[in-house]
Amino acid sequence: MRSREIRKYAVSSIPPCYSKAVIPGKISPDLLRRLVYPHLTTRPDVLVAAGIGQDSAVLDFGPHACIITCDPITGARRELGRLAVHVACNDVAATGAEPVALLLTLLLPPGSGEAELELIMREAGETAVALGVAIVGGHTEVTPRVTDIVAVVTAVGRAESGGYLHAGGARPGDALLVSKAAAIEGTAILAADLAGELAGRVAPEVLARARRFMDEVSVLSEGRAAVRAGATAMHDVTEGGVLTAVWELAEASGLGVELWADAVPVRQETTAICRALGVDPLRLIGSGALLVASGDPDRTLAALAGAGVPGTRIGTMRAAGRVVRRDGREEVLVPPARDELWRILEEVNGPA
């Protein structure tokens, strides 16, 4: 938790112009495989390491497993503290482990105000208390290396040894379930950020309800319930929506999948807002939904219901071939594309 900002010597060993540029955005699966994964390292007490769709790593701590995950938040300002806590805890929740502690690193651009910092911290603290997780440290720094606030959150979870899942555990024949509905987070963001564009096309009371979807972005309840009731693998829906998350779960498990797109629950408010904007809700950022592969879907769905979280069967894991059935047609399920939110915000606001 110490700053290294004083190492300002700016000589790069390899000038960027001599190597192929990496395109903006999250690094592609291809580049991860070529440039990043070959340099990851391991040791015998690493039980689960990084990979496509594997958002958390797991370490052997004797009778316990230690789950760790790390998420940067490089764009948000509105509700940054709250999102930071939820995003990291959701990754732990997707293993069925209990989120224990967070480290919050905040990098602020010069000119940032004290009130801004305090607001982020207050939101983070309140959200952590609500989830029962502790913010135990981090780092706070004002640095010209960022042009807007960047948060990086680390979450640590604990499970009984063997009492956790990861995204790579699905088996052929498992049912594929989803909790709540598609695009919960994206619906809330669009309702708040594009309120002007939506006025007159979506009723004010629908927009008001949609904005409150942000209260449902945690998947802790369903994660806890599903891990005890037949689940074999879990993965939280985030960028790229349900379609991307399903592809990632299949990739992490080395399997195929058949996704019944018409079965994916989409709430009225989401449908109204997405239709008005020409957005595909299944490709829209969707924290609040947890994908669950299960060998015993009735038991898993009953456990979700018992936790007060609706769950729906949306497909089947299979040995090979990734397809999506939609409107009676079967198409190939392709790897992550750009999230709908990116596209629509750029259409409305111009390039970021």
Which residues from 293-332 bind a second copy, rule CB under 8 A? Answer: none
Task: Residue 124: name the closest of 113, 136, 112 by CA.
Answer: 136
Return the SS3 of 167: coil
State which of residues 142, 276, 323, 337 lies at the interface with a second copy (CB under 8 A): 142
Site for a second copy in 114-133 (CB under 8 A): 114-119, 121-122, 124-125, 128-129, 132-133
Nearer residue to a second copy within complex by CB, 101 or 276: 101
Nearer residue to a second copy within complex by CB, 248 or 258: 248
For residue 170, give the amino acid letter: A
State which of residues 29, 57, 202, 278 lies at the interface with a second copy (CB under 8 A): 57
In the chain, how long is the greatest CA-to-CA distance?
Answer: 60
- Please tell me the distance from the alpha carbon of residue 247 to that of residue 76, in angstroms, as a whole number: 26
Nearer residue to a second copy within complex by CB, 238 or 253: 238
CA 89, 95, 100, 104 torsion: positive or negative?
Answer: negative
DSSP 69-98: EEEEE-S--TTHHHHHHHHHHHHHHTTTPE
264 belongs to the binding site for a second copy (CB under 8 A): no
Site for a second copy in 231-250 (CB under 8 A): 238-239
Nearer residue to a second copy within complex by CB, 63 or 308: 63
Task: Residue 265: name the closest of 321, 217, 336, 313 by CA.
Answer: 313
CA 256, 259, 265, 269 torsion: positive or negative?
Answer: positive
State which of residues 83, 210, 249, 301 lies at the interface with a second copy (CB under 8 A): 83
As given in the structure block, the two tokens for residue 5 are 């900002």
| Shortest Å distance, C-beta 175 to a second copy | 24
Other Cβ atoms closer than 10 A to 62 = 8
Own/partner contacts of 7-14, CB < 8 Å, gap of 24 or more, are none
DSSP 8-state assignment for residue 153: E
Nearer residue to a second copy within complex by CB, 175 or 289: 289
33 belongs to the binding site for a second copy (CB under 8 A): no
196 belongs to the binding site for a second copy (CB under 8 A): no
State which of residues 93, 97, 146, 203 lies at the interface with a second copy (CB under 8 A): 146
Provide the phi-psi class of 264: left if phi over 0, else alpha when psi is between -120 and 50, else beta.
beta
CA 341, 343, 349, 352 torsion: positive or negative?
Answer: positive
Stretch that binds a second copy, among 148-156, 202-210, 259-267, 288-296 (CB under 8 A): 148-156
State which of residues 220, 252, 292, 345 lies at the interface with a second copy (CB under 8 A): 345
Stretch that binds a second copy, among 96-104, 170-178, 209-217, 294-302 (CB under 8 A): 96-104
| Shortest Å distance, C-beta 341 to a second copy | 5
| Shortest Å distance, C-beta 57 to a second copy | 4
Site for a second copy in 162-181 (CB under 8 A): none
The 3-state secondary structure of 337-350 reads CCCHHHHHHHHHHC
As given in the structure block, the two tokens for residue 264 are 């994916």
Nearer residue to a second copy within complex by CB, 61 or 260: 61
Stretch that binds a second copy, among 141-149, 199-207, 211-219, 269-277 (CB under 8 A): 141-149
Q: How many residues bind a second copy (CB under 8 A)?
A: 121
Site string for a second copy, 58-77 (x = CB under 8 A): -x-xxxx-x-xxxxxxxxxx
CB 234 within 8 A of CB 290: yes
Which residues are within 8 A (CB) of 148 and not within 5 positions of it... i.e. 6 or more apart?
75, 77, 109
State which of residues 219, 227, 252, 341 lies at the interface with a second copy (CB under 8 A): 341
